[in-house]
Structure 1
Amino acid sequence: MSPSHFQALIARVTERVAQRPLDQDLADWLNAEYPADGPAFAELSDACRTGVKEGWLCDREAGGIRYGRIFKALPETHGFSVDVVSMSDIAGPHHVHPNGEIDLIMPVTQGATFDGHPAGWCVYGPGSAHRPTVANGSALILYLLPEGAIQFTKQDTAAA
């Protein structure tokens, strides 16, 4: 596994979602097309775990959260930036998704959740906001942000 191979794996997904609205229908479609018990999910999860282990993913740490943007929004990723975050029983910084956010949830601890979602995909629409929260253990989260757009706020409480 290498960053370029990882980018190719991500591009297979971003190519298929690039022109779709970021909404619950997309989340349902992603969970049907790339289910948590399927081979594509396993391949993405294994790639993320390898990248973390090798140090080219989640290469920064702050406030108990390991994180890193591996790719800015690129033509090769169909205009999505790609971040991977490692969290354990913690809420991250509140932020707004101007263009939405697509999340791949990969529990490290069986039963770990992200914003209440189990292994799989969740999608936040344009203008949504939250404090990303992992509960019941540890998880890796892959974030796809259209145009790399994210706005961190100073809000201390969760928002949906």
Structure 2
Amino acid sequence: MAEVPSRFVDLIATITGKIDGQPVEPALTATLNAEFPADGPVFTELEALCHQGTHDGWLCAREHGGIKFGRPVKPAPETHGFSVDVVEMTDIEGPHHAHPNGEIDMVMPIDADAAFDGTPRGWKVYGPGSAHHPTVRGGKALILYLLPQGAIEFTRA
């Protein structure tokens, strides 16, 4: 597997540095969409790196149940304690899980009509203690998850 490019980590650090100390809750969605809009340079460059990473094999290198996934970045000081997971999903409902500390999602449709949990291209934030079956409808999408302290709990619900 290829090494994660430092530029990928730098872009993540740019985002997490801007939101460091803010509550990870749905209201943070507006901040992320304003600071890092889907048509802006940070989102666009990070999206391009995600596509390159899936092609080169340093992202989404594992697959289970029709979902490609991977955690290229573990929680670390340079990412302000956030881990990074990236998944590739096509018209599928993923395994139920909970977010003890919340979850920040960067939604990158590959197919024009693809949406993650009803959200098209852009950001979606779940607060601490939330849970869901992550779902992509309308085609294929990449989703980048930022998890505070890397916390996620897969459940049977």
Above 0.5 in TM-score? Answer: yes
Check the 8 A contact 2:107/2:123 in 1, yes or no.
Answer: yes
Cα deviation for residue 86 of structure 1 reads: 0.3
CA RMSD of aligned residues (A): 1.1
Check the 8 A contact 1:3/1:56 in 2, yes or no.
Answer: no
Check the 8 A contact 2:62/2:68 in 1, yes or no.
Answer: yes
Tell me, yes or no, if structure 1 residue 112 matches structure 2 residue 114.
Answer: yes
Match of 1:49 in 2: 51
Match of 1:129 in 2: 131
Tell me the percent identity: 61
Check the 8 A contact 2:4/2:72 in 1, yes or no.
Answer: no
After TM superposition, the runs of 4+ consecutive aligned structure 1 residues lying more than 4 A away are none
Q: TM-score, normalised by structure 2?
A: 0.96
Give unpaired runs (5+ residues) of structure 1: 156-160
Match of 2:150 in 1: 148
CA–CA distance in structure 1, aligned partners of residues 22 and 67 of structure 2? 30
CA–CA distance in structure 1, aligned partners of residues 121 and 71 of structure 2? 21
Q: Summarize the alignment of residues 96-111 of structure 1 with structure 2, pairs less than 5 Å apart.
A: 96-111=98-113
Match of 1:158 in 2: none
Alignment coverage as a number of residue pairs: 155
Q: Summarize the alignment of residues 13-24 of structure 1 with structure 2, pairs less than 5 Å apart.
A: 13-24=15-26
Task: Give the stretch that moved more between structures: 141-150 or 14-23.
Answer: 14-23
Q: Give the 3-state SS of the residue equivalent to 1:24 in structure 2.
A: coil
Match of 1:31 in 2: 33
CA–CA distance in structure 1, aligned partners of residues 7 and 48 of structure 2? 12
Cα deviation for residue 2 of structure 1 reads: 4.6
Cα deviation for residue 24 of structure 1 reads: 2.4
Q: TM-score, normalised by structure 1?
A: 0.94
- Cα distance change on mapping 1:3 and 1:136 into 2, 3 Å: same
Give unpaired runs (5+ residues) of structure 2: none
